[in-house]
Amino acid sequence: MAMNIIKKLLIAPLALLTLGSIVSGCASDTDEIDPSRTLFLARDRSRMTEVERYIEDYFAAKYNVNIRYRYEDRFASNQYKLGPTDEMKALNYVNLMRYTFFDVYDKVAPKGFTEKYTIKLLVLFGTRGFGPTQNLLGEAPNGWIQVYNINNLSIPDFSNYSSWDGFRYEYLNARDNYIQTLYHESAHTLDEEHPVPPEYAKLTLAQYKQDDAFSFWYLKNISSLHAGFISDYASKSAAEDFAELFGWYIVFQPEEWEAKMQEAATGRYPADNPLNGRQLIEKKIAIIKEYMLSEFHIDIEVIRAEAQRRMSVLTADPKYTAADKWDAYNEYTKADFSRLPASYYSTIPATK
């Protein structure tokens, strides 16, 4: 079975110098997991830490999601040098995931949607998957999702930063490397349950590059946006195109999305294409909207609005931000991602 990269695949140092950018990746040709099947076994609670009990009581019981952060050889690939996850960083991650992903779907999606169409088995590792030719931020072997580099996750608190730029950089890193991955992967689950209409792939069918998706645009000195792809990796296949576009459409703030669309509108590829990049991407978005409504009875704009409301702290610049953005920031800061919920009466100190 193929070992499938999910997000932010960082290729070897020499290739990094060649491409000059971080490469994103994911594949969905893994064994499907039956969402009705319980994926975790009863465990001895007396041997659990507070964090483990929290994960079992909330995520496992509510969503049938098995989250493992303690290092286990059976989940670790022998192809990479993997390190264990710091428990406090694991807590940061699952709290961020709860606030920006699970709680979003809980609020706006039909009953049962979250349990059926989201992650079933998630394994966390503290370091990147260092190998002889590449290092990874995640992959999806054997039907489960692995996320690496958890120990480098930083959940910023503006009070700890001397400048806005430092705060924004840290939050964007958390959003782009961790949150977007969750929406990307959930999109694959949707596609597997109800295939995306073939009209979607037909829009850019001749431009899918498979394993050359990363190098093609760099070597040609062409923006993949001009060909109708939201990222270079989206040009790998129709499945990745859908998942990438779904994920970035959810997490990009309106001004970020518009900037991308303006850039996409400045060119077309190939040159004789009757549609520019923006027109192609917007046609794809229209198909996604209709697909979500007809197959899942949910408006992607509603998902997007709730997700962005929670993440609008990203654009809460004191120079021009409206009051509602600061309200979102205040809500965000009350969600202390470094601690267990108050009901657990945790004595665990906040991560420094």
Give 10-residue mean pLDDT values along the chain (352 residues): 42 34 41 45 74 90 87 64 86 90 93 85 78 53 73 73 68 85 85 95 97 93 98 95 96 93 98 98 99 96 92 56 55 66 52 40
- Please, which residues bridge with residue 129 across strands? 136
- To the nearest 10 degrees (0 to 180), the angle between helices 238-251 and 277-296 is 90
Task: From 327, 192, 304, select the one nearest 251 (Cα to Cα).
Answer: 304
Task: From 117, 95, 150, 155, select the one nearest 33 (Cα to Cα).
Answer: 117
Q: Please answer whether residues 145 and 185 qualify as being in contact, where contact means their C-beta atoms are separated by less than 8 angstroms.
A: yes
Q: What is the pLDDT of residue 164?
A: 63
Q: Please answer whether residues 99 and 59 qualify as being in contact, where contact means their C-beta atoms are separated by less than 8 angstroms.
A: no
Q: Which helix (H) or strand (E) holds 9?
A: strand 9-11
Q: Please answer whether residues 314 and 253 qualify as being in contact, where contact means their C-beta atoms are separated by less than 8 angstroms.
A: yes
Q: What is the pLDDT of residue 202?
A: 98
Q: Please answer whether residues 197 and 291 qualify as being in contact, where contact means their C-beta atoms are separated by less than 8 angstroms.
A: yes
Q: Please answer whether residues 176 and 154 qualify as being in contact, where contact means their C-beta atoms are separated by less than 8 angstroms.
A: no
Q: How many CB atoms lie within 10 A of CB 41?
A: 6
Backbone angles phi, psi at 87, to 5 degrees: -60, -35
Instruction: Report pTM.
Output: 0.79
Q: What is the pLDDT of residue 332?
A: 61
